[in-house]
Amino acid sequence: MFEEMRDLYQEVILEHGKHPRNCRHLERCTQEAMGKNPACGDALVVYLKIDPEGIVQDCSFLGQGCAISMASASMMTEIVRGKSQEAAARVFRAFHALATGDGEPDLTGLNEDDVERLQVLAGVREYPVRVKCATLAWHTMSAAMQGDEATSTE
């Protein structure tokens, strides 16, 4: 990774870790799921409010874990809000491919701002033991959308 990208990664993780966005219980959510990453001890609940048209009206999370898991959850809620379920699923697949280096990320249809944020967050691939921390909130969001109540990185 370029040095400036690494600096940006650390800056963003620290900032979101210190001031997580949408870190609250969501009243009248339509879906929720719990996610656990036993390898690190991260645990969180993701709440979604999806309208009849399938648009994510609101997304929040509550939980405890390392700075990366919290920062990733914070960024996930920001990225997913206002998107259709289908678009959110597409972003998740792209982020998963970026962060794990598994497969070619499909970035078609994603806006520039999201791609930039995903790329910064995907800087985690430089730290393989942390990849599960960074993808936990996304797996949990995906589980909630599919109606699963719980998911684990194991």
Binding residues vs Zn ion (CB under 5 A): 40, 42, 65-66, 69, 133
Contacts of 111 (CB under 8 A, 6+ apart): none
Q: How far is the CB of 67 from Zn ion (least distance, A)?
A: 8
Q: How far is the CB of 17 from Zn ion (least distance, A)?
A: 11
Q: How far is the CB of 41 from Zn ion (least distance, A)?
A: 7
Q: Which CB sits closer to Zn ion, 98 or 133?
A: 133
Q: How far is the CB of 2 from Zn ion (least distance, A)?
A: 25
Q: Which CB sits closer to Zn ion, 79 or 133?
A: 133
Return the closest-CA partner of residue 134 out of 75, 69, 45, 38.
69
Return the closest-CA partner of residue 70 out of 33, 108, 17.
17
Q: Which CB sits closer to Zn ion, 32 or 42?
A: 42
Spell out a b/e string for 4-43, using b for 16 or more CB atoms within 10 Å of the CB, else e.
eeeebbeebbeebbeebbbbeebeebbbbbbbbbeebebb
Q: Which CB sits closer to Zn ion, 4 or 154?
A: 154
